Structure 1
Amino acid sequence: MRLFHTSDWHLGQNLHGQERDFEHASFLTWLLGQLARRQPDVLLIAGDIFDTVNPPVKAQERLYDFIVSAHEQQPNLTIVMIAGNHDSGSRIELPAPLMRRLRTHALGRVLWLDDGQLDAERLLIPLPDATGQTAAWCLALPFLRPAEVTGASLGDDYLRGIAKVHELLIDAANARRQPGQALIAISHAHMAGGTVSEDSERSLIIGSAEALPASLFGSSISYVALGHLHKPQRVNGEERIRYCGSPIPLSFSEIEYPHQILEINCTGETLDSVETHLIPRAVELLRLGPAPLAEILLHLAELPNTDLLADLARQPWLEVRVRLDEPQPDLRQQIETALQGKAARLVRIGAEYAGSQGRDGDDNERLIELDQLSPQELFSRVWQDSYGSAVDQQTLDDFALLLQQVQLEGEHT
């Protein structure tokens, strides 16, 4: 059996106000080509399909057009996609009855039966091979929100609730599968030891709990297709537990990430290989600085001139970080003037001021924009400014739970 593993598409994402539909369209066209060339039996999409719980119409059209095109091109392809923390589980599942006609399974939520047992059947998906025989079972684990794994029968311990869901689903899968059938898990979570992008990955902290142990996936699982972390990586060095990463750089901190999909090959229950297919970058991201303004202006002058015959949609996105000794009221004007006729699209200017006492007692204070701070960091700074002391852990835990409730309610507005 051959499977493709991809995740974290973030359809509808804006880069500092600039839409990225061209980049997403380029990726999906490339992915269709890879499906035609490699003919996998299964495509796994491990969450964060959209960038927000209420994605723009164009982003939704991109997803559904891709699914229809993939099915028309390869009628026997099975697609399994799950909701991530950026997605609305309800929205992902809404067209599920229609998508099943296209051999696409959309799982956004974990549900419990009236007797308090996990509804494991809806999370177990048979995966047929090229002959039509069930060669594996997919264990679909969308992002698990507190309301789904805590409560009267489960208790209030979020990590314990997550562990219980994994235990029950794996037990149900082992009871269902026949000898020789592999178990393939797809999950959207932050696993312990994973490397996080500094700018573009929303924290999954619930109270003081964040990273999940790899031990949740026992040896009976042949492969675990993970989503959430944008940098491709193995978990604890295990070949069978992998993040494939995002298909495009979602922030300037991800410029050096290799963007890829993974091809998984199994014979029976044995994982034979995991191969990398690098995704061509439709639009480059450039970051200049931090450096003094004079040096930045020299770098801008060295950028290539605009080719009037070139596709403007392929011009690089540019972030400029300037180190200043004093305020420069016309900073943006100077940079925009230097960029006239250059093949780059300016999306952000960041300034760092020298010579003032920083928050942590250093000699430099960096001016940080709101979109660079997580909600927890912003809350901590406001608390410090308001009360003159660091926020205590219990208050941070309470804030994190409140934040999750607000995000969950946002899915239904």
Structure 2
Amino acid sequence: MAVRFFHTSDWHLGQFFYNHSRHYEHEQFLAWLLKQIKAKQPHALLIAGDIFDVINPSSQAQKQLYQFLADAHALAPHMQTLMIAGNHDSGYRIEQVEPLLEKYNARTVGVIRWNEDKTLNLERLILPVYDENKNVVAWCIALPFLRSAEITGFNEHTNNSQSAIAYLHEQLISEAKRRKTDDQAIILMSHAHMQGGETSDSERPIIIGNEEALSTALFDDAIDYVALGHLHKPQKVQHPHIRYSGSPIPLSFSEINYKHQVVDVNIDPTQSTDKFQFEAIEIPRSIKLHKIRGELNEVIQQLKSLAQGEIESIDLREYIDIEYHTLTPPLPNLRQQFEDALPPKRYRLVRISRQYLSQDNNAAQASKINLEPPTPEKLFEQIWDKKGYHADDDVKKDFMSLVAQAQQQLEDQHKY
């Protein structure tokens, strides 16, 4: 029996982009996704983590998700929506609404749970996928973002994060193989940073037990498809069936050229060849992003040559990022000069950065005026550099491990 599902991830509902709401862009994406669901009627929709942008999402962001689930269920009543928590999500929060989700044929896995005898609770992590006639066509191993506190210290196999991660994958894959029949597929959905994945500057580093990236060696050959979340660029990882779907909208200017997509996957385990097929369905971009670079006079000319035409609502205006090159400190009214050069009421100038040039026009160190606070990692590197030290990889890993622990403590406080 063939199974058909959509692979998506990293919706980041509720995100603010340089203090501007992305609500409209997410609304446009969800409306487009509903059309795809209505037309193609998949058996399942997978959301591989980072459903929300923050662990305490706004009521508007939560309403956006639940309204989508209700609309999707009305268009495709047989379709299941399977979700896992990402590192931006509160696993406990997204599991709290299970009675509501059941009404829309949706399931969520937020945290790893253990039985009283210290064995892994497999039932919550291996989900059946049904067809229109309620036949099981696939088993989905659902692995949320793995936090050290939730996976270590439970038995002799979980003494540290590395051994615990290996143990989890071995146990879950073994059980899925035991349950499946020859005409059923195995899907693994995970929110993780895999070795070899290409990152952007909007992704929060994931550190588990001082290790950032996991190996695809964790995945057994019996797995027909690995649906990954966390990295925002759509990409395969070593094999065509191990993929990041990527985010549905650009979450930073570094993602301006990404081809955002939903992966439409078909698997027929009864076929000896070509049992796995997929199509990348490109998501239309509702609001453009422009990155303008050059010397000051070049930037001004580029701004003046942008498309004209007013856009009444500020939430629908296009985003502008300027990087200008100069030999001298900025003029005090420089931002106003940029604003005056832009066609009126069409753009949002959200970021300005300055690249100092040496006299021979070779680029020197960049000095940036950023309209949002630096990440802990960048702040640490700046302070470290000012002290005259060299922050090697081990030092950075130790620091990011401390950041991850602090983040975990904050999230634990929000559980209660």
Contact map agreement 1:287 1:318 (CA 8 A) in 2: yes
The alpha-carbon distance between structure 1 residues 207 and 167, as it changes in their structure 2 partners (threshold 3 A), is closer
Q: Quote the residue 1:181 is aligned against.
A: 184
For the residues of structure 1 that align with 2:395 and 2:337, how far apart are their CA atoms?
A: 44
Contact map agreement 1:232 1:245 (CA 8 A) in 2: yes
For the residues of structure 2 that align with 1:11 and 1:121, how far apart are their CA atoms?
A: 28
For the residues of structure 2 that align with 1:152 and 1:78, how far apart are their CA atoms?
A: 32
Structure 2 residue 299 is matched with structure 1 residue 296:
yes
For the residues of structure 2 that align with 1:368 and 1:349, how far apart are their CA atoms?
A: 7
Counterpart of 1:402, as a letter, is L
For the residues of structure 2 that align with 1:392 and 1:278, how far apart are their CA atoms?
A: 39
For the residues of structure 1 that align with 2:392 and 2:349, how far apart are their CA atoms?
A: 40
The alpha-carbon distance between structure 1 residues 399 and 276, as it changes in their structure 2 partners (threshold 3 A), is same
Q: Give the structure-1-normalised TM-score.
A: 0.92
Deviation at 1:87, TM superposition (A): 0.8
The alpha-carbon distance between structure 1 residues 369 and 219, as it changes in their structure 2 partners (threshold 3 A), is farther
Q: Quote the residue 1:258 is aligned against.
A: 259
Deviation at 1:330, TM superposition (A): 1.2
1:111-130 matched pairs, under 5 angstroms: 111-130=113-132
Q: Give the structure-2-normalised TM-score.
A: 0.91
Contact map agreement 2:146 2:208 (CA 8 A) in 1: no
Secondary structure of 2:300's partner?
helix
Q: Quote the residue 1:334 is aligned against.
A: 337
Contact map agreement 1:318 1:344 (CA 8 A) in 2: yes
Contact map agreement 2:351 2:369 (CA 8 A) in 1: no
Give deviations 1:199-240, integer Å, cap 9, x for gaps: 20111123541111111111111111111111111110x121
Contact map agreement 1:183 1:269 (CA 8 A) in 2: no
Q: What is the alpha-carbon root mean square deviation over aligned residues?
A: 2.1
Q: Quote the residue 2:164 is aligned against.
A: 161
Give deviations 1:17-60, integer Å, cap 9, x for gaps: 11110000000000001000001010000001111111121111
Contact map agreement 1:53 1:410 (CA 8 A) in 2: no
Secondary structure of 2:280's partner?
strand
Which of 278, 284, 288 lines up with 1:284 in the alignment? 288
Contact map agreement 1:203 1:374 (CA 8 A) in 2: no
Give deviations 1:326-369, integer Å, cap 9, x for gaps: 1221111111111252632211111122239xxxxx85121135
For the residues of structure 1 that align with 2:378 and 2:337, how far apart are their CA atoms?
A: 32
The alpha-carbon distance between structure 1 residues 316 and 392, as it changes in their structure 2 partners (threshold 3 A), is closer
For the residues of structure 2 that align with 1:253 and 1:397, how far apart are their CA atoms?
A: 23
Q: Quote the residue 2:248 is aligned against.
A: 247
Q: Quote the residue 1:171 is aligned against.
A: 174
For the residues of structure 2 that align with 1:355 and 1:390, how far apart are their CA atoms?
A: 24
For the residues of structure 1 that align with 2:401 and 2:354, how far apart are their CA atoms?
A: 34
Which structure 1 residue ranges, 5 or more long, are not aligned? 357-361
For the residues of structure 2 that align with 1:68 and 1:211, how far apart are their CA atoms?
A: 36
For the residues of structure 2 that align with 1:29 and 1:311, how far apart are their CA atoms?
A: 19
For the residues of structure 2 that align with 1:402 and 1:76, how far apart are their CA atoms?
A: 44
Contact map agreement 1:206 1:397 (CA 8 A) in 2: no
Secondary structure of 2:246's partner?
coil
Provide the identity percentage: 44
For the residues of structure 1 that align with 2:26 and 2:43, how far apart are their CA atoms?
A: 23
Secondary structure of 1:367's partner?
strand
Structure 2 residue 212 is matched with structure 1 residue 210:
yes
Counterpart of 1:341, as a letter, is P
For the residues of structure 2 that align with 1:56 and 1:39, how far apart are their CA atoms?
A: 30
Q: Quote the residue 1:364 is aligned against.
A: 364
Contact map agreement 1:207 1:396 (CA 8 A) in 2: no
The alpha-carbon distance between structure 1 residues 89 and 181, as it changes in their structure 2 partners (threshold 3 A), is same
Deviation at 1:402, TM superposition (A): 2.3
Which of 337, 354, 357 lines up with 1:354 in the alignment? 357
Counterpart of 1:279, as a letter, is I
Greater mean alpha carbon deviation, residues 177-186 or residues 84-93: 177-186
Which of 193, 198, 207 lines up with 2:196 in the alignment? 193
Contact map agreement 2:21 2:315 (CA 8 A) in 1: no
Counterpart of 1:268, as a letter, is P
Q: Quote the residue 1:359 is aligned against.
A: none
For the residues of structure 1 that align with 2:227 and 2:326, how far apart are their CA atoms?
A: 45
The alpha-carbon distance between structure 1 residues 352 and 392, as it changes in their structure 2 partners (threshold 3 A), is closer
For the residues of structure 2 that align with 1:72 and 1:393, how far apart are their CA atoms?
A: 50
1:83-122 matched pairs, under 5 angstroms: 83-122=85-124
For the residues of structure 1 that align with 2:77 and 2:204, how far apart are their CA atoms?
A: 36
Deviation at 1:172, TM superposition (A): 1.5
Secondary structure of 1:346's partner?
strand
The size of the alignment, in residue pairs, is 404
The alpha-carbon distance between structure 1 residues 393 and 323, as it changes in their structure 2 partners (threshold 3 A), is closer
For the residues of structure 1 that align with 2:236 and 2:373, how far apart are their CA atoms?
A: 27
Greater mean alpha carbon deviation, residues 397-406 or residues 224-233: 397-406
For the residues of structure 1 that align with 2:347 and 2:37, how far apart are their CA atoms?
A: 32
Which of 300, 305, 316 lines up with 2:318 in the alignment? 316
Q: Quote the residue 1:268 is aligned against.
A: 269
Greater mean alpha carbon deviation, residues 103-112 or residues 318-327: 318-327
Contact map agreement 1:326 1:353 (CA 8 A) in 2: yes
Contact map agreement 2:304 2:343 (CA 8 A) in 1: no
The alpha-carbon distance between structure 1 residues 329 and 407, as it changes in their structure 2 partners (threshold 3 A), is same
Contact map agreement 2:184 2:269 (CA 8 A) in 1: yes
Contact map agreement 1:46 1:187 (CA 8 A) in 2: yes
The alpha-carbon distance between structure 1 residues 229 and 98, as it changes in their structure 2 partners (threshold 3 A), is same
The alpha-carbon distance between structure 1 residues 351 and 380, as it changes in their structure 2 partners (threshold 3 A), is closer
Structure 2 residue 20 is matched with structure 1 residue 18:
yes
Greater mean alpha carbon deviation, residues 261-270 or residues 131-140: 261-270
Structure 2 residue 82 is matched with structure 1 residue 80:
yes
Contact map agreement 1:2 1:266 (CA 8 A) in 2: yes
